[in-house]
Amino acid sequence: MRALLVVNPAATTTSARTRDVLMHALASEMKLEVVTTEYRGHARDLGRRAADSDSIELVVALGGDGTVNEVVNGLLHNGPDPDRLPRLAVVPGGSTNVFARALGLPNDAVEATGAILDALALRSERTVGLGLAAGTPGTEDEAVPSRWFTFCAGFGFDAGVIGRVEQQRERGKRSTHALYVRQVVRQFLEEPHRRQGLITLERPGADPVEDLVLSIVCNTAPWTYLGNRPLYASPEASFDAALDILGLTRLSTTAVARYATQLLTSSPDRGPHGRHAVSLHDLTDFTLHSKAPLPLQMDGDHLGLRTSVTFTGVRRALRVIV
């Protein structure tokens, strides 16, 4: 088997020595080309090259969720074709690694590498669905390129939190769960629309859902992790279905306390619920409009401000090694 290993040297939970051990372990079982990313978007370019290759059968992404997202967008640059495209394997090296953990892989890079090698020996793989977000036709964002996401997207409040975290990281702060919690508090205190949301959800054959302050789009469950604790925004979300969405119409102090508690105590059977919560399951197509530009994030990557985003849930988009 010919494989391409895409390595993010800035992966927060793997050292250079650990990465070297993993490379040798993989190289002992396959014909391996190793490329270390050098710039933002490099992993996407490498995924594109693999997709266009006639000989690469497997792409291994060693890094966090951002690295995986870039590789996936490169692999699917001409659209999904799971029977033709190289398979994807993920070695978790970031601070959270939601996609890898949602696939059932260990959160330790060495153990995950062993699990991948075992899966390859057993020819164990699955086909997963993915989410696609694009600028909405007829709006000022219609020219925004489409982008795939593996586990979640957010429009509004949670994307604002991601943006704050990225600003702190650019100033030299380490990406920790404590950093995220601090930015959630700051985003809440400075959120001007927390009592009257700006977002409207539109979907075919249904009435619009208006005045959303927060909108979280999930492609799998859990939505994310706080340390080792899984948080379920949309417990029914699955790689085998389309997309789920959780929306909140109010973020008053009382509402935030209620829904934060529900998230922290969420389970595969129960997520946030209540008068100000909107939960929808297995949506193939829908659009989120805002009365003013709001931040957008996908797989934990802040993508700037948007006024309208159209989402599509694509079943059977990519084969992964598990």
pLDDT tens-digit profile of 106-122?
999 999 999 999 999 99
Residue 142 has pLDDT above 90, yes or no: yes
E strands within the chain? 2-7, 31-36, 58-63, 87-92, 125-135, 147-149, 152-156, 199-202, 209-212, 214-218, 224-226, 229-231, 243-248, 277-283, 285-298, 301-321
> For strand 2-7 and strand 31-36, is the pairing parallel, antiparallel, or unpaired?
parallel
What's the pLDDT at 222?
97
DSSP string, 218-281: ESSSS-EEETTEEE-SSTT--TTS-EEEEEES---HHHHHHHHHHHHT-BTTB---STTEEEEE
What's the pLDDT at 11?
85
**pTM of the entire predicted model:** 0.93
CB of 164 within 8 A of CB of 213? Answer: no
What's the pLDDT at 95?
84
State pLDDT tens for residues 71-102: 999 999 999 999 999 999 999 998 889 999 99
What's the pLDDT at 192?
72
Three-class secondary structure of residue 151 per DSSP:
coil
Instruction: Count how many residues are written for the chain.
Output: 322
Distance of alpha carbon 226 from alpha carbon 119, whole angstroms:
28
CB of 195 within 8 A of CB of 188? Answer: no
Residue 48 has pLDDT above 90, yes or no: yes
Residue 52 has pLDDT above 90, yes or no: yes
> For strand 87-92 and strand 285-298, is the pairing parallel, antiparallel, or unpaired?
unpaired
DSSP 94: S
Task: For residue 211, give the amino acid letter.
Answer: D
Residue 194 has pLDDT above 70, yes or no: no
Containing 37, the helix (H) or strand (E) segment is: none
CA angle 109, 172, 181 (to 5 degrees): 70
State pLDDT tens for residues 256-304: 889 989 999 999 999 999 999 999 999 999 999 999 999 999 999 999 9
Residue 187 has pLDDT above 90, yes or no: no
| pLDDT band, residue 255 (cuts 50/70/90) | confident
| pLDDT band, residue 176 (cuts 50/70/90) | confident
Specify which of 171-180, 184-193, 289-298 reaches the highest per-range mean pLDDT. Answer: 289-298
25-29, 30-34, 115-119, 252-256 — which is least confidently predicted? 252-256
The phi, psi pair for 196, rounded to 5°, reads -145, 100
Distance of alpha carbon 60 from alpha carbon 87, whole angstroms:
8
What's the pLDDT at 283?
98
